[in-house]
Amino acid sequence: MNAFSLTIPRTIKQALDELTTPKGGPGKLKAGGIDLLDLLKEGIEQPGRLINIRRLDEAPQALHEIGEVKADAIPEGVWRLLPGSNDGSPPPRRDCLRIGSLATLAQVAAHPLLASKVPALTESAADIATPQIRQAATVGGNLLQRPRCWYFRSSEYQCAKKGGSVCFARDGENDFHAIFDNQVCCAVHPSGTAVALTALDAILSISSPQGDKFVRLSSFLVSPTQPGGAIGRENRLEADMMIHAIWIPSPGPGERSLYRKVKQKQSFDWPLADVAISARRKPTGNKELEAVRIILGAVAPVPHRARSAEALLLQSPSLDAERLRKIGQAALTGAIPLSRNGYKLPLVSGLVQQAIAELLS
């Protein structure tokens, strides 16, 4: 591990000043430190300065708090990105859930308001790592953790993601790697909360020296083959930025969500595959859906949206075994497994079928 200095700012401005000062080499934010310390130990990150943001707090924009914000009080940047805004006209304002980026996974998992409104998120947080880790790990850090690909994590392999020329996993030990979008880098996105928050169409507010920015999580996370993507990164966060909070449109009547995960070992583990679904029923009362998002995790460099399965599910409210099988199959559209991860095809298909049946039964 390289030598570094440690600073403990009290305000966001101080943290951003620390990030951007050229003195003492590049700075790196440390939240819970669970991922960052691993990366430092393997020499994958070598910052000259660590900036501990755990003690930052600034009312009324508290970084540790979770709550609901009334429609007329949400920031304009969040409002503009709410659902319904794709045609350029302003979307209707609505209440939003707000989670400070420094809220811990334990806080998220146990929060009664989140559990009642967005169970996909609390279920994903509750299934991450161990109780001790969840007490320290933050939701912002969870979204920004680096992939678990063993070639990337080992200092002995200079893989393409670290600036080398070879993706060792492509023809190597790729059991836990991507089945979608795996041509450039086969590592999968490791974050469980990212899967749930993408299904819930979450928006990030990001602080930078130029002011606050707002972005949908689904556009913020980016694979190497997507516009603006690069093999060395999994998101669009720049070196002078900090995630401030996560905003989720509060679900209305008829909206439900759920998260399910399959692990190799049941005690604590990253997923072999996970899925989050959010669905909204039409107000007609006949079980027809008017909106659905099915997001698959541990299968691609970023959470993967199963659009073909969504389209099939929207066609009819009937869920007999044959329709479920077809929807599960549709979730695999575009999948190209590697030499050792073909088992993920039936696993993902079955997981999607099980999750849909459970959510809509």
- List of residues contacting ligand FAD (CB under 6 A): 28-36, 101, 128-129, 133, 137-138, 140-142, 144-145, 190-192, 242-243, 268, 270
Return the number of the residue (235 or 349) whose C-beta is nearest ligand FAD. 235
Question: Do residues 280 and 252 touch, judged by C-beta distance below 8 A?
Answer: yes
Smallest distance from the beta carbon of 101 to ligand FAD, in angstroms? 4
* AA identity, residue 265: K
The DSSP bridge pattern shows strands 242-249 and 96-100 to be antiparallel
Closest to ligand FAD by CB, 53 vs 159, is: 53
Closest contact distance (angstroms) between CB of 311 and ligand FAD is 28
For every residue of 182-224, DSSP letters joined together read -SS--PPP--HHHHHHHHTT-EEEEEETTEEEEEEHHHHB--T
Q: How far is the CB of 93 from ligand FAD (least distance, A)?
A: 26
Q: CA–CA separation, 23 vs 47, rounded Å?
A: 12
CB-wise, 152 or 270, nearer to ligand FAD? 270
Least Å distance, CB 69 to ligand FAD, is: 19
Give the strand pairing for 66-69 and 211-216. Answer: unpaired
Q: Smallest distance, Å, CB 327 to ligand FAD? A: 25
Cβ(70)–Cβ(95) below 8 Å = yes
Instruction: State the minimum distance, in angstroms, from the CB of residue 11 to ligand FAD.
Output: 14
**C-alpha distances in angstroms, 132 versus 66, 102, 103, 190?**
20, 16, 15, 19
Closer residue to ligand FAD, CB minimum distance, 141 or 229:
141
CA angle, residues 216, 313, 335, in degrees to nearest 5 = 70
Comparing C-alpha atoms, which of 257, 266, 290, 268 is closest to residue 119?
257
Q: What's the closest the beta carbon of residue 168 comes to ligand FAD, in angstroms?
A: 22
Q: Which is nearer to ligand FAD, 85 or 132 (CB)?
A: 132
Q: Cβ closer to ligand FAD: 94 or 162?
A: 162
Instruction: Choose between 29 and 332: whose C-beta lies nearer to ligand FAD.
Output: 29
Instruction: Give residue 339's identity as a one-letter amino acid code.
Output: S
Host H or E run for residue 99: strand 96-100
